[in-house]
Structure 1
C-alpha cells in the first residue's frame, strides 16, 4: 500500500521502514523497528498484503511461513489497474489462502461512486463463498502532493468515503473495510466516528502495539504492523482465530 511518513510538522518522506512508536495515537509508518509485535488479545492469524511492488510472489513459501490470508491491490482512482493483480489474487487462492482486493482511494481525481464501481468491475467484487474477503478502501496520506487530505475538508472527505462505502455496499451487498492510520483519519475526517458501525477497520501502525484506534472504532479487524518480515509485502495480523477469519469472509450474517 502507498504510505508516506511524517518527518516533522510539514516534512514528509517515502516509507522506508517500520513506525517507531513514540507517541500514543501517532500511526504513520516511519522508522525501522525489529521488535516483535505485541499481538491483540486472543488468537490471531497471520497474513500479508501485496501489490505490483512485489511482482511474482512465492505463495507456497508464504503459506508454509504461516500466511493464511492476503489482500492484493486491484485498482487506484479510475485509471489504474494493477498488472499483477490477477496472478497474485489467483496465486493466493491456489495455496488455500483467503484473499481479497483493495482499492487505493484518490479523492482528488474523481468521485467516490465512480471509483467504487471501477474497483468492483476490476477485481474488487465480493461473494459469500467463504474464500473471498470484503473489498478494502485504502484511504491515507496523499503520495502525489503536499496536501494529505487531497484538498478536501473533513466534511467533504467524510462524504467521499461514505459515498464509496455505500456504492460498494449497493453493488456487492457488503460494506468495505477501511484501511487507514489513526493520525490520517482523525486529521482528514475530523475524527469522524460514524464509520465504525458498518466498516471493519484495517489499521496501519508499525511497532510492537496496535495502540489507540481511529475515532469511532473500539476494535480492529486487521493490524498491519510492519512492512518487512518473513512474508512478502506488508505483515498483518487478523484479530481473531481462523474460524473468525472464515466468518469475516462470509459476512456479518455468518453463524
Structure 2
C-alpha cells in the first residue's frame, strides 16, 4: 500500500473519531451513514489488528524494480506464457469482465493473513474470477512470528475456498516475504523458518491433498532460510521480480511456475505470467498434488 495513502487514511480515521467534519488538504471522505470507521468490516487496516499486505508489497520496498523500458521479452517467450493477476482487499470488487478483456486467464486471490485477517472481498474475487472463466487460486500472507505454521495453515484452509482437481482451481499458495512489521526474517533462525514453512506445507497437503505453491523472492529466501533447497520437488515456485527476466531462482527449484513481473498494469492488482501453455496451467489446476 502507498505510504502516503496509509498516512492520510490514518489521519482521516482519527478525524472521524474526533468528530471532525472537514480536513483541508487531506481529502477525507466522511463515513457512510451508519458506518463506524473503527469497526467497519471493509476497513481492512483495522480488522483484528492485522493489515492487508499484498503478494509483493514488501518485495518492491526492499528490492526495487528495473526501469519500465527494460520490461521486454522475445516473441517466443511471450508465446509460451499465460497472463494472469493477483488481487487482495485493496482491489475491492473487481470487474472481472474487464480483467478478462485485458488478457487475464488466471488470478490468485488473497484469502488470509496470520490468524486473524480475512479479505472481506474474497467471495466476490474468488467466485467472480471463476464465473468469468478464469482459473483461480487463493493465497495466504504468512506472519511466521505470529503463530505456528500449522495454525496459519488451518486458518487459511478454513477460509481459503474449496480446493478441487477441477482444472479451474490452482493449488493453495503461501506468500513468504519481508516482514512488514519489523525484522526481515521475523526474528526466526533459518532452521526455524524452514520448519515453519514445512509445517504449513504439510498441514495444507494433509487437508487439501495439494502442496502449496510458495511465493518468495530469491533474495528473501536466501537470507531467511539459508537458501534451503528442500521444497523444489513438492512445492511449485511463484517468484516476484520486477525486471526484464525472472533472474536467479532460489535453491531447489529448476524452474519457476509463475512470475510476478510487475505490480501494476492493464490487469487488476499485480501482473503475472504462467510459465507454460494454457493446457499446462489446466494441468496444474487438475493434479491432486
Q: Give the TM bin, normalised by the shorter chain.
A: 0.7 to 0.9
Which structure 1 residue ranges, 4+ long, deviate > 4 Å from structure 2? 39-42
Structure with more of its chain in strand, by fraction: 1
Partner residue of 1:155 out of 191, 195, 207: 191
CA 220–161 in structure 1, closer or farther in 2 if over 3 Å, else same: same
* Equivalent pair of 2:107/2:129 in contact (CA under 8 Å): yes
**What residue in structure 2 maps to residue 128 of structure 1?**
165
* Residue in 2 that maps onto 1:4: 58
Rg: which structure is higher?
Answer: 2
For the residue of structure 2 that corresponds to 1:89, the secondary structure is helix
Residue in 1 aligned with 2:273?
Answer: 237
Contact 2:260 2:272 survives alignment (8 Å): yes
Match of 1:164 in 2: 200
Taking the aligned partners of 1:52 and 1:230, their CA distance within structure 2 comes to 18
Return the structure number with greater helix share: 2
Q: Does 2:265 correspond to 1:211?
A: no
5 Å matches for 1:1-255? 1-2=54-55, 3-5=57-59, 14=61, 28-30=63-65, 33-38=68-73, 40=77, 43-145=80-182, 147-251=183-287
Number of equivalences: 233
Distance 1:59 1:153 in 2: 41
How far 1:216 moved relative to its partner? 1.2
Compared CA separation, residues 233 and 41, structure 1 to 2 (3 A): closer
CA contact (8 A) 2:108 2:137 kept: yes
Unaligned ranges ≥5, structure 1: 7-13, 16-27
In structure 1, C-alpha distance between the alignment counterparts of 2:58 and 2:175, rounded to whole Å: 13
- Between the aligned partners of 1:241 and 1:252, the Cα distance in structure 2 is 19
Shift of 1:124: 4.5
Structure 1, residues 104-137: CA drift from partner, whole Å, max 9, x if none?
Answer: 0110110000100110000254211111100000
In the TM superposition, residue 32 of structure 1 has moved relative to its aligned partner by 5.1
How far does residue 4 in structure 1 lie from its aligned partner after superposition?
2.3
| Deviation (angstroms), 1:29 | 3.7
RMSD: 1.7
Instruction: Check whether the contact 1:124–1:135 (CA below 8 A) recurs between aligned residues.
Output: no
Higher relative contact order (CA 8 A, sep 6+): 1
SS state at 2:170 partner: coil
Provide the rounded CA distance (Å) in 1 between the counterparts of 2:171 and 2:162.
Answer: 8
Question: Is the alpha carbon distance of 1:5 and 1:179 closer, same or farther for their aligned partners in structure 2, counting shifts above 3 Å?
Answer: closer
Gaps of 5+ in 2: 1-53
Mapped contact 1:222–1:236 kept (Cα < 8 A): yes
Question: What is the CA distance between 1:180 and its match in structure 2?
Answer: 0.4
Question: 2: distance between equivalents of 1:233 and 1:106?
Answer: 21
Give the C-alpha shift of residue 160 in structure 1: 0.2
What secondary structure sits across from 1:208 in the alignment?
Answer: coil
Matched position secondary structure for 1:212 = coil
Change (3 A) 1:5 1:161: closer
